[in-house]
Chains A and B, each alone.
Chain A
Amino acid sequence: MASVLVVFPMIVPLVAALCALVWRAQPRVAHGITLAGSVVHVGCVGVLCTSVLTRGPLVHQFGGWAAPFGIVYVADAFAVFFLSAIAIVSCTVFVHAFGARGASSWEPFFLMIVVGGASGAVLTSDFFHLFVCFEVMLIAVYALMAVQSVHARERMDRTMRYVVLNAANSLLFLLALGVLYGTVGTLNMAHAIEVGAGSWRYVLLAMFGVVFALKAGLGLAFWLPQAYAGLSIGVAALFAGLMTKIGLYALVRIGMVWGIETSWIGWIAVAAIAGGVLGMFVQRTISGILAYQIIISSGMLGLALACAHDALLVLALSDMVAKTMLFLLFGTVARSDRIRAEHARMAPMLVWCGVLVAGGLPPFGPFVAKALLLFGLVERTDGGDVAMRIWLIVAAGASLAVLLSLIRVAMRLTWSSDQRVHMPVWTRLAVVLLLVVLCGIGLGADRVVTYARTVVLSDAHVYVKTVLGR
């Protein structure tokens, strides 16, 4: 019955959310409940992680219905890796939210639902259930956006745009599911691998690819820069860490099922990176710069997906943590309407540590990820492949641009001003926790890389064997 362990990462946040809803009248209690819930979530993921590491992947069949007939949750190394990133990121966001004064008492409830949906999406082995988990996540996101923009017309417009676009995307997702069931005759990922798509492979790849590319902000990222503007710090931080990466996770899974078109993904990623860098350089606000950095990191992950698999995991992990950290760190300034960024002064030590670590100063987590990606690309240039050289140069240039723009932001915030911005203790704690994680990834690079290498993405048969047992 150890397989029941797999269910907890999805159930615990939902239960915590329910409790938070019940105790909504006392915001402090509600925040405490969600914080406790997310700590339990981290614990569950940790136990799951060790279990998967020592005894191999776990599969849970809901209702006892075996794989292609019912819904199964699969905790393989890849899912658990992502899950731990989700757990870490969400836990620190709840640490921040616990200390946020005047926060809406609805916020913890909706945030917890997002975490639950994300965990389910990572664990499931069923395409339709993936859709459902996305819907769970999205409805909570819509709710968060809408509640926070009730009183601001401009923000409501942004929310509407996000809702319309994602509703259209959900429709496309449903269409893809219909075609999948019609042509392959299954909704289960492992079964789909086993059956094969025949001549439908490219159609299915295109249908799912467009859906997930929009979610991952890979190429179709025009919704992203405005979406996060105006959200509260915690919400923006969680979205920054989670939303696009879940889309990317789904992209990896369809890549696992139907194979990856390396050059397509690579060129789209390069275009995304180039666009992101260009957009980042013309931004004048911190939140704008950070939003474009998310687009760039989506592109980098796309490149990693195309040609450097062991970089992909480390990059995803360190990127989720780093982006959340940056949003928490700069949120105080980026959010406040009264203080123009040029005139704010923040805790300089924390800002510089955060910026340098997130920007890829060796030997910390983001550096290891960056180095793995660049070395992975370099390895592919061996045969004199010109495309790979271009990708390599673009990736190197983008990581340079990200570092420099972060330094620029830190310069503005710590050097040229007199007005101090107060950063709440809990937010500081959250930032420090995330920094510790990033340093840990760097200093414990050996374990992280070893673990990342055990994740076999290219060999789909391992997955089939795990899920279907044959």
Chain B
Amino acid sequence: MPVVFLCAAPLVVGLAMIACARYRMPAMAIAMTVMGALVCMPLIVPLSSASYAWVPALGWTLSFVVDGLSSLFAMLICGIGAVVVLYTHGYMRECPKKMTTLYGFILAFVGAMLGVVFADDAIVLFVCWELTSVLSFGLVAFWNGRADARAGAWRAIVVTALGGIALLVAIGVAWMETGVWRISEWNAAFASGSAHHSWLLDVALFLAVATKSAQLPFSRWLPGAMAAPTPVSAYLHAATLVKAGVYVLARMGELFGGPMMIGIVGIGVCTAVWGAYGAVRQTDAKRMLAHSTVSQLGVLCMLLGIGGLAQDGGIAAYAVAMYHLVHHACAKGALFMLVGIVDHAAQTRDVRQLTGVFRRMPAVGVVATVVMAMFVGLPFTSGFASKESLFLLIEAMRTSGATIFLGLCAVLASVGTFVYGVAWIVRLWGVGGSCAVHGDVRAAMWIPPLVLIAWGVVWGVVPQTVTSLVIDPAVHAIASRTFDTSMQWSWWHGVTWALWMTIAVFVLGTIGVVGMARLRAGLALGVRGLRRLRAVGVGCRRTVRMSAARIAYVWAHVPAGRGAGILWLVWVVCVGAALVLTVDVTQMHMRIGDVSVVAMIVVAGIVCAAVAMAVARQRLAIVCSLGAVGLFVSLLYVWLDAPDLALTQLAVETISIAFVLFVLRHYKHPPRARMSALPVLVGVVVTVLSAIALIPRPKTAIDRFTAAQSVPAAEGANVVNVILVDFRGLDTMLEIVVIAVAACSVVAMLRVRAERKREHE
């Protein structure tokens, strides 16, 4: 139960707050209480895996798993969440009206995200996954009066919704392979080989991971999402939401086939380099951090991929990944918050205008410098440990071309991180600059980043304890086996490749910082090329769109006659093909001898009238020939001994021809064009159909029953009438309804028109 409460409580409270946002309420107090409860509850009541019935018919259960991996993520979510709630209070003080909504969204997100990491049933995971997407969309569009917020939100939802549907497909495939919905059982099944990998599963699951965690080629939504309020950027788009993809990769690693794992490593490393490149180019501080998040997410995916490929169970890689994850969540969260403080004070986030801002707010500057040092991995920080472990890991891999490429890319990404991080700090401490600083920095804003960087301090003091308490259980959960301890940490490994890589990072990074201006100019060249490419893409899209619109318009505006023509054509093709291919057409045997001369004459009359109707150009002639056909048909009825039918036919023909002639008076269109082949074809198919289907028919059970029962049971001598009013009386009743409704509609139209006229006068 505690797990369910942990997920549901913030979700419910949050949604309720969104719904009641118009009422005044102590939003901050509510949010703090909930977050406090979340942080404290696991300390009081131990969490344990649980399962409840949900949709037994489909096998869906509300099952949750509590293990090292989910606990690690839950710690991040609750811990950073609590800090962010505090920070939001300081950040949103100018805009108390929207505060409740923002808190509501954040709380709901906490619940959904906890659901993602605790879910064991794949459907529960999916439900929470989609919720996080939607809430992230809502948060990016928080200032929805701004165009960039709307555009960013749209891009975010397009990409994450794609991931959502892909995840659903992946879940379906995994379920088909294993027959269960439990993720824990999936891993076992795929690991033991009783379930098979397929490209569909690989691609779908990778799409889910890559969209959520902003891997190439889906990384562009994350910088766009920076239109969200800064607490949201710090929380969702740095620390938690974007790690959901990484979480799935860690949780369902077994579901990926070997080739896909290699692909993940490759894409991860490319993303890392690409993100670093983007961050170096950026001048907006938040967007720079977003690009750097993309880069670090790439590193995380690469690490998990390496772990999945490793022969020894990948413990080392998983350990580095988990370590890097925590480190990044804390450092990046703190950086975002500091940017928020600077933004608040200086009213801009453009690095070029912020020169020297730290000289005016030195305390913030010092904290920011420390965090950045941690982040770029200067020696004796947690970041250094993280980077060094990555290099050691690559070094330990089998030497091959791929490994060398991997090492090069890792170095390149680290150089990028070093360059943008250090250049940013140097710039903000720089001399000159005219940026003014307003107001003081509130406690609610500077305490949260301090809490977050405390992680680095704690790790620095007791590295082994933290590792065994936090990292190891998670690694254990991913690798699904036990081991002694994952990471033996020391600052000095001797002269190894890792050392050379680290030195290379620092040397190249320093060169980069010094030559920052030139570097930017060089990178801009590449960007221009990309822009040109994008323009071509936009042009193509417009062309496609225009032509599609044209086709859709024509298709939806088919005139009445042609529409019926299409219907006839489809009918002739389908029925004609079925007739020719499946029915023995040669069984058509009209024996001429059975037909009397009178009937032959009548039929000849029908044919002549029909042909006349077909060739006539004047409408009056067409109508007259149509009438002639009807008259000949009624003659045929006379010959068939059905005088009542003949009379009915005569009446119908007379009235309808008179009516058509009456309408024709108002009809001003020119005479019709030449007849096409379609009606002829339809006529042929109908004739053949009736010749085969209707003429050589023996009496059926129903024929015999109606004939036999007409007098004794229904007490009527005329079988046709008995059918109409007794055997199938209901049909007749409803046909009368049809006629009545038609009459009413005529009255209605006349009335409405009369009313309209009166109104106009």
Tell whether A and B belong to one assembly. yes
By a CB distance below 8 angstroms, the chain A residues around B731 are: 71, 128-129, 132
A62-B730, A143-B745, A375-B172 known; A69-B574 Cβ under 8 A? no
| Contact indicator per residue, chain B 145-172, by CB within 8 Å of chain A (1) or not (0) | 1000010011001100110111011001
B588 within 8 A of A: no
Pick from B123, B172, B549, B745: contact of A139, CB below 8 A: B745
A209-B574, A362-B130 known; A185-B564 Cβ under 8 A? no
B127 within 8 A of A: yes
A436 within 8 A of B: no
A150 within 8 A of B: yes
- How many Å from the CB of A383 to the closest CB on chain B? 11
By a CB distance below 8 angstroms, the chain A residues around B694 are: 178-179, 182
> Are B729 and A139 in contact, with the CB atoms below 8 A?
no
A361-B134, A446-B55 known; A281-B545 Cβ under 8 A? yes
> Are B574 and A400 in contact, with the CB atoms below 8 A?
no
A164-B563, A222-B563, A225-B556 known; A63-B697 Cβ under 8 A? no
Q: Which of B76-84, B401-409, B511-519, B576-584 contacts A (4 or more CB under 8 A)?
A: B576-584
A147-B745, A282-B548, A282-B549 known; A222-B566 Cβ under 8 A? yes
Q: Which of A28-36, A196-204, A240-248, A455-463 contacts B (4 or more CB under 8 A)?
A: A196-204
Instruction: Say what secondary structure dominates the interface of chain B.
Output: helix
B741 within 8 A of A: yes
The residue among B168, B548, B568, B735 with the most chain A CB atoms within 10 A of its own CB is: B168
B589 within 8 A of A: no
By a CB distance below 8 angstroms, the chain A residues around B58 are: 372, 445-446, 449
By a CB distance below 8 angstroms, the chain A residues around B583 are: 199-200, 202-203
By a CB distance below 8 angstroms, the chain B residues around A356 are: 134
Chain A: interface residue total (CB-CB under 8 A): 102
**Bound: A362/B200 CA distance, A:** 23
By a CB distance below 8 angstroms, the chain A residues around B158 are: 404
A200-B583, A206-B574, A362-B126 known; A445-B169 Cβ under 8 A? no
**Bound: A382/B726 CA distance, A:** 53
| Contact indicator per residue, chain A 55-69, by CB within 8 Å of chain B (1) or not (0) | 000000011010011
| Contact indicator per residue, chain A 166-210, by CB within 8 Å of chain B (1) or not (0) | 001100100100110011011000000000000111110111011
B673 within 8 A of A: no
**Bound: A202/B563 CA distance, A:** 25
A40 within 8 A of B: no
The residue among A201, A378, A403 with the most chain B CB atoms within 10 A of its own CB is: A378
By a CB distance below 8 angstroms, the chain B residues around A415 are: 141, 144-145, 150
The closest CB in chain B to the CB of A187 belongs to B702
By a CB distance below 8 angstroms, the chain B residues around A429 are: none
A63-B727, A161-B559, A168-B567 known; A136-B57 Cβ under 8 A? no
| Contact indicator per residue, chain B 102-141, by CB within 8 Å of chain A (1) or not (0) | 0000000000000000000001001100110010010001
Pick from A172, A411, A414: contact of B571, CB below 8 A: A172
By a CB distance below 8 angstroms, the chain B residues around A47 are: none
> Are A371 and B123 in contact, with the CB atoms below 8 A?
yes
The residue among B555, B686, B744, B756 with the most chain A CB atoms within 10 A of its own CB is: B744
**Bound: A377/B168 CA distance, A:** 12
B552 within 8 A of A: yes
A110 within 8 A of B: yes
| Contact indicator per residue, chain B 54-88, by CB within 8 Å of chain A (1) or not (0) | 11111010000000000000000000000000000
B173 within 8 A of A: yes
A146 within 8 A of B: yes
**Bound: A371/B165 CA distance, A:** 10
A164-B563, A363-B127, A400-B162 known; A179-B693 Cβ under 8 A? yes
A70 within 8 A of B: yes
**Bound: A133/B555 CA distance, A:** 29
By a CB distance below 8 angstroms, the chain B residues around A411 are: 141, 144, 150, 153-154
> Are A186 and B702 in contact, with the CB atoms below 8 A?
yes
Q: Which of B229-237, B452-460, B746-754 contacts A (4 or more CB under 8 A)?
A: B746-754
**Bound: A68/B697 CA distance, A:** 18
The closest CB in chain A to the CB of B163 belongs to A400
The residue among B130, B693, B729 with the most chain A CB atoms within 10 A of its own CB is: B693
Within 8 A of B (CB), among A443-457: 445-446, 449-450, 453
- How many Å from the CB of A150 to the closest CB on chain B? 5
> Are A446 and B176 in contact, with the CB atoms below 8 A?
no
By a CB distance below 8 angstroms, the chain A residues around B150 are: 411, 415-416
A69-B705, A136-B738, A361-B130 known; A278-B548 Cβ under 8 A? yes
| Contact indicator per residue, chain A 419-445, by CB within 8 Å of chain B (1) or not (0) | 000000000000000000000000001
A400-B165, A415-B141, A453-B57 known; A222-B556 Cβ under 8 A? yes
Within 8 A of A (CB), among B572-609: 574-575, 577-579, 581-584
| Contact indicator per residue, chain A 131-174, by CB within 8 Å of chain B (1) or not (0) | 01101100110110011001100000100110011001100100
Pick from B127, B702, B709, B735: contact of A185, CB below 8 A: B702
**Bound: A224/B555 CA distance, A:** 10
- How many Å from the CB of B728 to the closest CB on chain A? 6
5 A-B residue pairs with CB within 8 Å: A68-B705, A135-B735, A202-B581, A371-B172, A396-B166
A185-B700, A397-B165, A415-B144 given; 9 more Cβ-contact pairs under 8 Å? A71-B728, A164-B563, A199-B584, A200-B582, A278-B548, A279-B552, A371-B172, A375-B176, A415-B150
- Give B contacts to A, CB under 8 Å: 19, 54-58, 60, 123, 126-127, 130-131, 134, 137, 141, 144-145, 150, 153-154, 157-158, 161-162, 164-166, 168-169, 172-173, 175-176, 200, 545, 548-549, 551-552, 555-561, 563-564, 566-568, 570-571, 574-575, 577-579, 581-584, 686, 689-690, 693-694, 697, 700-703, 705-706, 709, 726-731, 734-735, 737-738, 741-742, 744-745, 748-749, 751-753, 756
**7 smallest beta-carbon distances between A and B, as pairs:** A143-B745, A185-B700, A378-B172, A282-B549, A182-B693, A161-B560, A225-B556
- Give A contacts to B, CB under 8 Å: 14, 21, 62-63, 65, 68-71, 104, 106, 109-110, 113, 117, 120, 128-129, 132-133, 135-136, 139-140, 142-143, 146-147, 150-151, 157, 160-161, 164-165, 168-169, 172, 175, 178-179, 182-183, 185-186, 199-203, 205-207, 209-210, 214, 220, 222-226, 275, 278-279, 281-283, 349, 356, 361-363, 370-372, 374-375, 377-379, 381-382, 389, 392, 396-397, 399-400, 403-404, 407-408, 411, 414-416, 445-446, 449-450, 453
